[in-house]
Amino acid sequence: MVEAVYEKIGPVGAVIAALSFVSLYLFLASGFYLAWVPHSYRKFLKAFRQPEPAVTEAQSQKNPLSSVLWTTLAHKPLRSEIQGEVQYLFQRSFSSTYISLTILRLISVISPLLGLLGTVLGITRVFHEMSLQSAVDNAMLAGGIWEALITTIMGLTVAIPTLVFYYLLRLRTRALMIRCIEDVRFFLQNRD
Q: What is the pLDDT of residue 70?
A: 86
Nearest to 180 by CA among 88, 47, 50: 88
For the chain, give the mean pLDDT: 87
Who has greater pLDDT, 36 or 9?
36
pLDDT at 179 over 60: yes
- Spacing of C-alpha 132 from chain mean position: 46
Percent of the chain with pLDDT over 90: 45
pLDDT tier, 191 (very low <50, low <70, confident <90, very high otherwise): low
Q: What is the pLDDT of residue 192?
A: 54
Q: What is the pLDDT of residue 101?
A: 97
pLDDT in tens, 30-45: 999 999 999 888 888 8
The one-character DSSP state at 94 is T
- The top-scoring range by mean pLDDT among 7-16, 21-30, 69-78, 136-145 is 21-30
pLDDT at 173 over 90: yes
Who has greater pLDDT, 21 or 183?
21
Who has greater pLDDT, 154 or 54?
154
CA distance linking residue 127 with residue 106, whole number of Å: 32
Q: What distances in angstroms separate CA 185 from CA 40, 54, 73, 82, one per listed residue? A: 20, 20, 9, 7
The one-character DSSP state at 81 is G
Give me the number of domains the chain comprises: 1
pLDDT tier, 62 (very low <50, low <70, confident <90, very high otherwise): confident
Structural domain that includes position 79: 2-49+57-191
